[in-house]
Structure 1
Amino acid sequence: MSWHVDALLTGKAKAFRDGEKSAIGKTPATGAVRITTLGLGGDEQADPAHHGGPHMAVHHYPRDHHAFWRDQIGDHPLLDDPGAFGSNLSVSGLVDSQVRLGDRFRLGSAVVEVSQPRMPCWKIEHRFQRKAMVATIIKSGKSGWYYRVIEEGEAQAGDRLELVSTGASDWTVEHILQSIANPKVVPEIAELEAMAECELLGPSWRGGARKKIAALG
Structure 2
Amino acid sequence: MPVVLSLNVAQKTTPVDYARAGVTGIDKRPVDGPLEVSVPGPQGTAGGGIAGDSIGDWTVHGGDYQAVYGYAREDLDWWQAELGVDLHNGQFGENLTTQGIDHTTARVGERWRIGTATLEVSGPRVPCRTFAEFLGQRGWVKRFTQVARPGAYFRVLEAGRFAPGDEITVLHRPDHDLTVELFFRAVTTEPDLLPRLLEAGDSVAPHMIELVHKRSTPGVS
Range into which the TM-score falls when normalised by the shorter chain: 0.7 to 0.9
Question: TM-score, with normalisation over the residues of structure 1?
Answer: 0.86
Cα displacement (A) at 1:216: 11
Aligned ranges 1:23-62 → 2 under 5 Å: 23-37=25-39, 38-62=48-72
Question: What amino acid maps onto 2:15 in structure 1?
Answer: A
Structure 1 stretches of 4+ moved >6 Å = 214-217
Question: What amino acid maps onto 1:3 in structure 2?
Answer: P
CA contact (8 A) 1:104 1:163 kept: yes
SS at match of 1:198: helix
Give the unaligned 5+ runs of structure 1.
none
Aligned ranges 1:1-217 → 2 under 5 Å: 2-11=1-10, 12-17=12-17, 20-37=22-39, 38-75=48-85, 77=86, 79=87, 81-167=88-174, 169-182=176-189, 185=190, 187=192, 190-191=195-196, 194=198, 198-210=201-213, 213=216
Q: Deviations over 1:83-123 (max 9, x none)?
A: 10100001023233320000001110000001111111111
Cα displacement (A) at 1:188: 5.4
Q: Which deviates the most, 94-103 or 146-155?
A: 94-103
- Shift of the 114–188 alpha-carbon distance from structure 1 to 2, 3 Å rule, reads closer
Q: Output the CA distance in 1 between the equivalents of 2:26 and 2:207.
A: 20
Q: Output the CA distance in 2 between the equivalents of 1:125 and 1:109.
A: 34
Question: What amino acid maps onto 2:108 in structure 1?
Answer: L
Q: Deviations over 1:181-206 (max 9, x none)?
A: 11xx35357536x36x8321123433
- Shift of the 138–18 alpha-carbon distance from structure 1 to 2, 3 Å rule, reads closer
SS at match of 1:64: helix
Give the root-mean-square deviation of aligned CA atoms: 2.4
Give the unaligned 5+ runs of structure 2.
40-47
The percent of aligned pairs where both chains have the same amino acid is 27
Question: What amino acid maps onto 1:32 in structure 2?
Answer: P
Q: Deviations over 1:128-151 (max 9, x none)?
A: 111221112222211111111011
- Shift of the 111–95 alpha-carbon distance from structure 1 to 2, 3 Å rule, reads same
CA contact (8 A) 2:18 2:133 kept: no
Cα displacement (A) at 1:61: 1.7
Q: Deviations over 1:40-98 (max 9, x none)?
A: 110111100100011110001222122332343222x3x1x101010000102323332
Cα displacement (A) at 1:16: 2.2
Q: Which deviates the most, 108-117 or 168-177?
A: 168-177
